[in-house]
Structure 1
Amino acid sequence: MYVCLCNGYRCHEIREVAREGASSAEDAYLMLGEAACCRRCLPTAQALIDEERSDAHREGVGKDVAEPLGLQFALGSAT
């Protein structure tokens, strides 16, 4: 499904850049190469980003949480 008709951005592209770190529609568009033109699509794009980042957060809860804290050894995942 198209999200942005001006730039031809699709749903999966917006979700992908959200997984890569975009936290706003404006950031996502710039990561994809073009800023928003008419801006009508920004609320939809932002909803997709928020949903994707929320899903990614839920999937990551409990996974490798200790590693960024330097607690690898306590969990037995030392390399």
Structure 2
Amino acid sequence: MFKVRVFVSYKESVLNPQAEVIEGAIHRLGYQTISNVKMGKYFDFDVEAISEEEAVEVASKVSDQLLANINMESYHIELMEAK
């Protein structure tokens, strides 16, 4: 069994108004050196698989079908640990 984390975020070409609002608030707090704020979400789950490759393949299929809107979002997968 493998612990998997999938990070999902907007593609570079997609406007993220929530991140823009956060960046504006950061600047109003006086942190002018911070820019290009991005935000996203992540999912943690366990995958029963016999290899790391199989675990990543399953996580990728789930991400394509459910976790990420592939038209607007991209994702990357990290294996956190094997049980």
TM-score between both structures, scaled by the size of structure 1: 0.29
Q: Which has the higher contact order (CA 8 A, sep 6+)?
A: 2
Higher helix share: 1
Higher strand share: 2
